[in-house]
Every structure is written in structure tokens, then in C-alpha cells.
Amino acid sequence: MARSGPVSTDTTCIALGLAQIRVGSSSDNITKPGAALTSSDSIGVLANTKFIGNTDWYKLESGFPLIEDYTAPIRESAALECAFRQITPKNIALAYGTDISSGSYEVHSGEVALGNRSAPDYVRMEAVYTYPNQSNTMTIIFPRAQVSAAVEMDLQTEDSAAVPIVFESKNATSDVTGGDAVWDDKALGHIEWA
């Protein structure tokens, strides 16, 4: 008997698990449309990873009763939410909006100043997801992103802390200082498969 409904057409496309989050310098890598960061740029083990591509839509309605005639996008944004488990000066500095590629950080020594926040630095964020077949990847690239977070470190007796942060993709086109023409037709970055 033949199956019906939404059956698998290619099981190598099933996503299971988390992406590896890599963070580096936006300015040093702005001209590179493909993945530019390596696993050594990873922020470490994560509790979750979630891509969000929001679009606000304009809807034209006419007649009585009103009926929709037309839809057009009026606002678009891209973000990646994650929560890191490795509580290091480097990761906490990132949560506070610091470009961690410009500093030297140790695993268990250093300082992150409190009460002195300014606009977050621009960073490059690459979320590299490896499919369960260990052959195919999907990479989300934000060439010019800012980290926004209300830093919360919830320490528990029987679970490791997970600090949530959000990478918000910003305009990376040649229209803005710090952007490049390679992003003119993909202002917020892109997702590429290999």
C-alpha cells in the first residue's frame, strides 16, 4: 500500500541538533560573501540556537466588505537567538556588545566592566549547522551584526548556566560605513548550503 501525506523525500535534509556559533571581526571580513570564520572562532557549547527572519507586511484592501488586493513587504529583519554555556570573559564581553575579535581573552582571567555600556560593536556572526549525515552544512552569515542582550546568568544546582543573547543582523551594503558592495543584493547577509 502506498503511503500518503507528507512523506520524506530526502532524509539528508532533516535538521536535528544545534548550530555552531562563530564570531569574528565584521570589518576584517566584510568583503567575504562565503564562510570566513573557523571552528576556533566558536563561542563554545550552546543550550539552543534559533534563526528568526521577520517581515512586516503592508496589505492593500478595497471594496465593501474590504478584501485584500495586494501584499508587499515593508520591513525585514534577521536575528539569531542562542544561549551559551561556557561562562568566560570572552563570552560575557560578547553578551555586553564587545567585538571580541579585537581583544585578548583568557578562559579564567579577565574583566568585563559593568555600568559603562554603549552601542554594541559590529561583529560577523556565522551559524554553521551540520546535518546529521555529517556531510552537508547550512551556514547563516550575518556580515555586520550587533549583539543585544539583557545579560542573565542563572546558576543552578543541577544544570549548567545558559546565557541568552541575540545577534541582530544590520545593513551591510555599500550604503553604510563599514559595509561592502558584495552585500548590496543581500543587505542582512544570507544562508548558504554545502
The b-or-e profile of 108-127 (16+ CB within 10 A means b, else e) is: eeeebeeeeeeebbbbbbbb
pLDDT at position 2 over 90: no
Range of the domain at 111: 16-193
Q: Is there a domain that residue 2 lies in?
A: no
Q: What is the pLDDT of residues 103-135, one digit of tens each?
A: 788 889 989 999 989 999 999 999 999 999 999
Q: Is there a domain that residue 145 lies in?
A: yes
Place of cell 527572519: 53
pLDDT at position 1 over 80: no
Rounded Cα gap, residues 168 and 76, in angstroms: 12
Q: Is there a domain that residue 110 lies in?
A: yes
pLDDT value of position 3 = 84
Q: Is there a domain that residue 35 lies in?
A: yes
pLDDT value of position 76 = 97
Q: Is there a domain that residue 163 lies in?
A: yes
Q: What is the pLDDT of residues 152-187, one digit of tens each?
A: 999 999 999 999 999 999 999 999 999 999 999 999
pLDDT value of position 103 = 79
